[in-house]
Chain A
Amino acid sequence: MTVDGSARAFRQHGRVVVVGASLAGLRAAETLREEGFVGALTMIGDEPSEPYDRPPLSKQVLLGKVPADGTALPRRRALDAEWRLGVAATGLDLTGKRVRLADGQEVGFDRLLIATGTRARPWPRETEADLDGVFVLRTADDAARLERRLAARPRRVLVIGAGFTGSEVASACRERGLEVTVAERGPAPLVGALGGVIGAVAAELQREHGVDLRCGIMVTALEGDPAGRLKRAHLSDGTTLDVDVAVIALGAMRNTEWLAGSGLGAGPRGVACDAGCRAFDVHGIVTDDIFVAGDVARSPHPLFGYQFLSLEHWGNALAQAEVAAHNMISSGPDRRPHLWVPAFWSAQFGVNIKSVGVPPMGEELIVTQGSLAERRFAAAYGHQGRVIAAVTFDHARWIDFYREQIESAAPFPPVFANVDRRPEGLRPVGADFPDPALPTHGPTVTLSGYSPSERRVTFTPARA
């Protein structure tokens, strides 16, 4: 790889500041060093702890198998960075190139990486959210508190929201032998991420494991006793539920408030950036020194109609951090696009769930391997005659095949013969998302290449 003069000078003497010292921040910093950045590196994080991993928090940690402070991220190498932990960034001065900190100090930079991720969406009514027994789950502290409470064996846990986090919490409760009610506004668990067809499978899974699952229902109020302890929940169907623990699992909010007024294109849906991880300013013009990665980023993906995707996936944070770091110390043609195909996993009720692509873009779904009834299957989602996503339940080893199908814009429904195709997999059905995206006609884009440096997009004007 050639490094031009300015990039070389930056690698030697530049100042990089990373705000958000978690998965994306850490991996970006490591990549900077790996790729030869020897300048000054500052890591700013509002959590006091060293970077740690979140996926185990709702799994092994809630089961009491791993302590909440036991998920520190493994270090790939020594960083030689200045760490400012336990202090939040509160503002950004774009022209002066400085980050303002909560303790009143300022840190100057030549290039900035924004990796502030998301936080749990709190229960909307503050007095109710403050009741003893009401929890969210995003940080290690959250997990420690909740785990302690579960270990004290509450009589019943109420989980509000049956997305991935809520479902995993419910699963952990059942595995610990606790009574749990899940209240979900939508028609089924996971319905927003995977659609109603798969949601129905998830619902069955929960009920079979003894979850009191109530769909199409909202929790209207949480009620405490005089001592301020949660004791009851009121539901939209007029019923009440005696509970001593409620876990609010209503999704996440992007940590962009500190960027308000900075002139960056940052808002509730994240910080918009180009495929090279460079942030947009409020005019939609790309900056050259401000980069974004991880849950807080929103970036366009060629495979998915150049839609700006906001992803909350571990693998995305990792891949995007690596691309951002590479681009921060490279110039012009050496820069790479972030062409990662979205993918995530979940473990709940003994089932390993994996997904690739963007399922909510799918209008139709076909079970290509295994069967929904056995809850071991692979299913592909179709969008305008091509494979746009896939999900597997206990069939993870096939997932790479479906990723390749998505990358090559393979036709949907798939017509080929393959192992473990059952009668139900011969015809597509509606994927049944609550709010289907309106189909638009766009050109087709495919991805090729294996290593990051050879990833390429091929643009095909139209598929016949």
Chain B
Amino acid sequence: MTATSGTLLHQITDYANRADPYPLYAELRRTPVARQDDGVYTVSTYWEILSLLHDPRISSDVRNRTPQAGGDLPPEDDTTLPPSFLRLDPPEHDRLRRLATRPFGPPHSPRRIHDMGGDLVRMVSGLIDGFQGREQVDIVEDFAYPFPVMVICKLLGVPHQDEVLFHGWADAIVAALDPSPAEGPQERQRTAQRARTELGTYLAGLVEEHRRAPGDDMLSALITDHGPDGQMSPVELITTAVLLLIAGHETTVNLITNGTLTLLRHPEALKRLREDPDLAVPLVEELLRYEPPVQLLPQRTALADIDIAGTVIPAGASIWLMLASGNRDPRRFDDPDRFDPGRRDNEHLGFGSGIHYCFGAPLARLEAQLALTGLARRLDGPRLVADPPPYRQNPVLRGPRHLPVAFDGVTA
């Protein structure tokens, strides 16, 4: 059966509903696989999303989409850069991801993230130290944004003083990921493309520097290391660096901000975390389920007719996988709208699943755990200044634009 609920999806992407899209997701789940007015197929239930994430008949490469399939997506890439592995299918995807993984995680670099732990703790305390003497901060500007940026710079080997440079580039690039911008999509695209080119040029310079004087960072390793797959070409290297840089912090900002917001809305959870830092581990998993930074994946395309949940998604169709909706599917999770920081059965879709499973998941987890424990432990009497806070425009990477929080003091 095919149902149309175009207005529903429209409501979901409508900025007016950004603060609380969850009732709309619940309505969307009534038709697990729904054809929208513009031809897009939304998939909103847990098991169906999971199954499609493991389905080789689904492509992440928009070049496979038929023109009439709807769900127009701004191309991530401009004329000078090829798509990153996020938007490629195997075998290209596999090769690039393997190459990127070598200096990042197991089996070749099992300690990279673990060894950053100390630095991360210092960054968190440094930022919170900066709250001293203030009565109110913006969690986004003063904490949740600068922290992951410092981390990704350190990881990639980007000089600290250059951070400001790409703050603006990143903003512009991410803004263009919005599939339904409120106004001026063309203008937005041009700005994003310019930002991408500038960032690419900047990174190309950086790559040259690291080639001449390699350090202990990921970029240096990517440039100098030779594995069974050989090496990335210069242009692949730059595309990958752009991806890691953008994806490496734009999502974490929202994870930390959504986390802070959720904790302030659930004071008993905040209290528990303050008393028991070990709670951070399941709590962050629950956040990834309850308020995932990536709400939906709008860039999948069917390569063949796919018969699922009583509907046939035709070859060439554009598919939106509604991760945040799947995370609240009552057929999968008990009492899904309840924030339960100790939840045990919690295989959420917050990082996706399958071959595109979030590359940076181990890092994002660690950052969020340390950031939230730091805030819980050190802020005295924290409270929300505005609830809901103002949200960012983007329905894909969803999170507050600002999160003003007042407090009585900062514990040492």
Contact = CB atoms under 8 A, between A and B. Distances in A.
Interface of A: 368-370, 374, 376, 378, 397-401, 404, 416-420, 450
Contact of A450 (B47, B303, B355): B47
A397 B355 contact: yes
A419 B56 contact: yes
B90 A370 contact: yes
A401 B56 contact: yes
Contact of A376 (B47, B56, B94): B94
Chain A to chain B: the 9 pairs with minimum beta-carbon distance, closest first: A416-B304, A418-B56, A420-B90, A419-B89, A400-B54, A417-B303, A417-B304, A401-B54, A418-B57
B259 to A, nearest CB: 28
B325 to A, nearest CB: 17
B315 interface: yes
Chain B: interface size category: 20 to 34
Contacts of B354: 397-398
B44 interface: no
Contacts of B51: 400-401, 404
Contacts of B89: 419-420
A398 B50 CA distance: 11
B91 A417 contact: no
B356 to A, nearest CB: 9
Contacts of B357: 397
A400 B354 CA distance: 9
A416 B303 contact: yes
A419 B305 contact: no
A401 B303 contact: no
B47 A368 contact: no
B91 A420 contact: yes
12 contacts: A374-B91, A397-B354, A397-B355, A399-B54, A404-B51, A417-B303, A417-B304, A417-B315, A419-B89, A419-B90, A420-B94, A450-B47
Contacts of B315: 417
Interface string B85-109: 0000111001000000000000000
B55 interface: yes
A398 B56 contact: yes
B59 interface: yes
Contacts of B57: 416-419
A416 B90 contact: no
Interface in B287-312: 303-305
A374 B228 CA distance: 11
Given A397-B354, A416-B57, A370 B91 contact: yes
A389 B72 CA distance: 38
A368 to B, nearest CB: 7
Given A419-B89, A420-B89, A397 B54 contact: yes
A397 B56 CA distance: 10
Contacts of A399: 54
B29 to A, nearest CB: 15
Nearest to A450: B47
B54 A418 contact: no
A416 B307 CA distance: 12
B308 to A, nearest CB: 10
Contacts of A374: 91
Contacts of A417: 57, 303-304, 315
A356 to B, nearest CB: 12
Contacts of B55: 401
A313 to B, nearest CB: 20
A56 B58 CA distance: 35
Contacts of A378: 56
Contact of B304 (A369, A401, A404, A418): A418
A398 B94 CA distance: 13
B56 A368 contact: yes
A185 B234 CA distance: 49
Interface string B51-66: 1001111110000000
Nearest to B56: A418
Nearest to A416: B304
Nearest to B58: A419
Contacts of A401: 51, 54-56
A69 B315 CA distance: 53
A2 B56 CA distance: 41
Given A400-B54, A401-B54, 15 more contacts: A368-B56, A369-B56, A370-B90, A374-B91, A376-B94, A378-B56, A397-B355, A404-B51, A416-B303, A417-B315, A418-B56, A419-B56, A419-B90, A420-B91, A450-B331
